[in-house]
């Protein structure tokens, strides 16, 4: 089963991505994670990506598409994959259709008013990627799941978040229509309830799709 995970920044894609890929044995491919790793290691891709991610803009399509196209040729993708953060505009979606066969698109809808606070208050575990919100951490600086150090992503500041939300509205949201026309969209509503609640709904639908 090959899936795409769609939703605004802050909709809770990361948490659902971990749960979905665990449950269905899918390779989790996050373009955001790939860029962050490259930035950390100081690779050529990292140096290029840094200037865009810091501003909340999209890394150029030719670079991003080439990375995904190559990643999907790896052997592990034969068991199925979950694309998280890709495609992010119509061009990327059309390119993807040339080299991939997608079975379903999990779209998480969420009240946009929640996103700014969610992202600016987000803290992420360096080890396992789990995310938390400062308002519920009570000053804790380590991950409840694995003990890893929590940090704040560099692009989780009001200015960059504003840019990321604008990019989502202008370039990524039209993909909902694109995949609805292909009959692949699976709609869900993100809430303030624990991620397990949403995952139960996603699981019910994906169990059927997985057959
Ligand atoms: P979020 O969904 O929380 O905004 P991601 O971790 O998915 O964050 O992405 C972080 C940044 O990486 C984006 O703001 C963008 O600069 C870059 N990026 C990730 N995926 C893509 C993509 N498909 N195309 C272009 N840039 C991307
Ligand atoms: Zn952790």
CATH number at residue 187: 3.40.50.300
Let me know if residue 117 belongs to a domain: no
Q: Evaluate whether residue 116 is within a structural domain.
A: no
Longest CA–CA separation in the chain, Å: 48
Verify that 31 and 128 share a domain, yes or no: no
Percent of the chain surpassing pLDDT 90: 93
**104 in the same domain as 32:** yes
Does residue 50 sit in the same domain as residue 131?
no
- 46 and 126 share a domain? no
Q: What is the number of structural domains in the chain?
A: 2
Query: Mean per-residue pLDDT for 89-117?
Result: 96
Burial of 123 (0-12, 13-18, 19+ CB in 10 A): buried
Per-residue pLDDT at 32 = 96
163 shares its domain with 174 = yes
126 assigned to active site: no
Segment 154-177, tens digit of pLDDT: 999 999 999 999 999 999 999 999
- Annotated catalytic residue within 36, 88, 118, 123: 88
Q: How many whole angstroms separate alpha carbon 105 and alpha carbon 4?
A: 5
Of the candidates 69, 153, 184, 203, the residue annotated as catalytic is 153
Q: 20-65, pLDDT tens digit by residue?
A: 999 999 999 999 999 999 999 999 999 999 999 999 999 999 999 9
Q: In terms of pLDDT, which residue wins out, 128 or 49?
A: 49
Q: Which ligand is nearest to the CA of 57?
A: 1
For 79, the token pair is 């068991």
How many residues are present in the chain? 211
Q: Do 52 and 104 lie in a common domain?
A: yes
Residue range of the domain that includes 190:
2-111+156-210
Q: Are 109 and 190 in contact (CB under 8 A)?
A: yes
Q: Domain check: are 94 and 190 in the same one?
A: yes
Tell me: do 51 and 143 sit in the same domain.
Answer: no
> Is the confidence at residue 203, as pLDDT, over 90?
yes
Regarding whether 205 and 135 lie in a shared domain, the answer is: no
Spacing, Cα 69 to ligand 1 middle (Å): 16
Percent of the chain at pLDDT above 70? Answer: 100
pLDDT tops 80 at residue 119: yes
Q: In this structure, are 174 and 148 located in the same domain?
A: no
104 φ/ψ angles, rounded to the nearest 5 degrees = -160, 155
Are residues 145 and 57 part of one domain?
Answer: no
For 2-26, what is each residue's pLDDT tens digit? 999 999 999 999 889 999 999 999 9
The model carries a pTM of 0.95
Is-contact 55 161, C-beta < 8 A? no
């Amino acid at each position: 089963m090959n899936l795409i995970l769609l939703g605004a920044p802050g909709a809770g894609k990361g948490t659902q991505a971990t749960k979905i890929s665990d449950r269905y044995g899918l390779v989790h491919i996050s373009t955001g994670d790939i860029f962050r790793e490259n930035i950390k290691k100081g690779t050529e891709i990292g140096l290029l990506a840094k200037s865009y991610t810091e501003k909340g803009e999209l890394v150029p399509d030719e670079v991003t598409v080439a990375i995904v196209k190559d990643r999907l040729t790896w052997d592990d993708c034969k068991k199925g994959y979950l694309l998280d953060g890709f495609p992010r505009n119509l061009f990327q979606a059309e390119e993807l259709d040339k080299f991939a066969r997608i079975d379903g698109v999990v779209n998480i809808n969420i009240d946009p008013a929640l996103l700014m606070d969610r992202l600016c208050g987000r803290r992420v575990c360096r080890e396992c990627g789990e995310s938390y919100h400062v308002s519920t951490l009570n000053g804790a600086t380590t991950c409840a799941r694995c003990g890893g150090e929590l940090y704040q992503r560099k692009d989780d500041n009001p200015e960059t978040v504003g840019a990321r939300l604008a990019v989502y509205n202008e370039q990524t949201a039209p993909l909902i229509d694109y995949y609805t026309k292909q009959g692949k969209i699976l709609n869900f509503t993100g809430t303030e309830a624990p991620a397990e609640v949403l995952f139960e709904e996603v699981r019910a639908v994906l169990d059927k799709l997985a057959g």
